[in-house]
Structure 1
């Protein structure tokens, strides 16, 4: 079990990130026609706007919250006067709200896809799997909140921050910071990392285009002149 845990939390993150980045690049280079969200609005509009908005607000908020919360050095939080306890309460509150919105949105989208025969038939299995995978991942995240409430000193949160920062800076001995944590945290992390492996093979790749579209804000105005 120790070897498996060391692999999952010490080596597996690099495998997941490599597949996530290289898989997305290869998908963009070789299958650009499939690089889209594959909207189904023309087939069935029911519940799409509500479910999609809740899902996107929730999942993007959760992702950015994890990114900032785990990778921001502790020295920065200390300089801002944010204690471990305050940061943990902020993470639980924001994560609970955004995670809840994401789950509600996912349930609406899943019901819409599985309850409509035409949508169910045209939706690839990989896209159904990724939605269900995200549902489980978010659910596990919400299940960590009661455990976090029982330990508000922030020690566990600091361990997860140390693990994440060691991973992204290629420092060794990251796994021990997670191995001693409760099982629900370990499952949440595993499901979260595995999502990055699934990502390049699903319609989720359109997220890259969403981030890239921000560059349009800095583009020069397009000049259109009448023919002479």
Structure 2
């Protein structure tokens, strides 16, 4: 029974979550393009937003990049430049710093959304739920740090990397065993991460696909014209 459950959670569930994320995002963008936004609440209350948002986004971008490169890069690619043990130590240090920054920023955003009356009234269940889920996911990620420090041989990191690479390349044989052999924080972190992929199309997270990166290299300057208020105030009424 446990083997069947492990196969369901760590071999079948990843493909279900990824398929729903991809297909659901395409359908939402096609059918409900006006809901494809972050739903900023800056106009309601700017306090706490800037610091919380900056810390959260800096941390989450580093974590996303680190997880993507760290898990999906085969060991044979980097073993000539850095050992697995050194790579794990680098991941622990950099990931801990980014995780703490992200955790602090997200905690500020959650406090702002839950304890400000105006924002709380205008928030949907999905808005609140995704923030709490991300907060729990960050907490689980930070909990894995002491466990990783106990494995200086980097076997856990290599096993989880092998699992992610096998899932991506459709080599499913033995994938469940790679995760089932690890401590519960790793398993919970992976399952909740897959769940975030699953609910991705139904949340405000879709706006990450529309990040305005093109503004970094856009040509020229944006022209902004201010309306001449003094001229409007001195304009005579019609007929005079």
TM-score category of the 2 structures, normalised to the smaller one? over 0.9
Q: CA deviation at 1:198?
A: 1.3
Matched residue, 2:164: 164
Matches within 5 A, 1:69-88: 69-80=70-81, 82-88=82-88
Matched residue, 1:113: 113
Deviation by residue 1:93-135 (Cα, 9 ceiling, x = unmatched): 1111111111101110000001111101111101111110011
Matches of 2:45 and 2:213, distance apart in 1: 29
1:32 matched to 2:33? The reply is: yes
**Cα 1:78–1:194, aligned 2, differ >3 Å: closer, same or farther?**
same
1:2 matched to 2:8? The reply is: no
Matches of 1:53 and 1:99, distance apart in 2: 13
Pairwise CA RMSD: 1.6
Unpaired segments of 5 or more residues in structure 2? 222-240
Q: CA deviation at 1:214?
A: 3.2
Matches of 2:98 and 2:216, distance apart in 1: 27
Matches of 2:98 and 2:37, distance apart in 1: 25
Q: CA deviation at 1:199?
A: 1.2
Matches of 1:139 and 1:219, distance apart in 2: 38
Matches of 2:115 and 2:154, distance apart in 1: 43
Matches within 5 A, 1:66-145: 66-80=67-81, 82-145=82-145
Provide the TM-score with structure 1 as the length reference.
0.92
Deviation by residue 1:129-162 (Cα, 9 ceiling, x = unmatched): 1110011111001101101101111111100010
Unpaired segments of 5 or more residues in structure 1? 223-228
Provide the TM-score with structure 2 as the length reference.
0.88
Matches of 2:133 and 2:187, distance apart in 1: 15
Q: Which runs of structure 1 show a deviation greater than 4 angstroms over 4 or more consecutive aligned residues?
A: 215-222
Matches of 1:22 and 1:221, distance apart in 2: 37
* Corresponding residue pairs, total: 220
Matched residue, 1:225: none
